[in-house]
Amino acid sequence: MINFILGFIVGLLFAILDFVLLAYFRRNIEQKLTIVEKQIANAGPRPQGFIIEPEDEVNDWREEQIEKNRQQGKDTKLSDLL
């Protein structure tokens, strides 16, 4: 029983020591972490371009219908586009 209590107290002291050290050296740790993060980000692959997917035939047909109705001065109904 005494070993359990002693171990608990020692564990609690180590936890408090860790918390105090991390709180004290927080600024230094954060600065080093940001440097490491930047190095990792710079070492990784960089995007060089992008892919443009062609429009669907359905969308092309819809745009043609809307433009045709616009030239005739008509409103395009939603049911006509479905």
User: Predicted confidence band at 10 (pLDDT cuts at 50, 70, 90)?
Assistant: very high
Instruction: Answer yes or no: is 49 within a domain.
Output: no
**pLDDT score of 81 more than 80:** no
For residue 67, being part of any structural domain is answered with: yes
Residue 7 in any domain: the answer is yes
Output the average pLDDT for the chain.
Answer: 88
Q: Which domain holds residue 34?
A: 2-43+56-81
Give the pLDDT score at 69: 87
Which of 39-72 are b and which e, b meaning 16 or more Cβ less than 10 Å from the residue's Cβ?
eeeeeeeeeeeeeeeeeeeeeeebeeeeeeeeee
The answer to whether residue 17 is domain-embedded is yes
Looking at the structure of the chain, the number of domains it has is 1
Average pLDDT estimate for 25-44: 91
* Predicted model pTM: 0.41
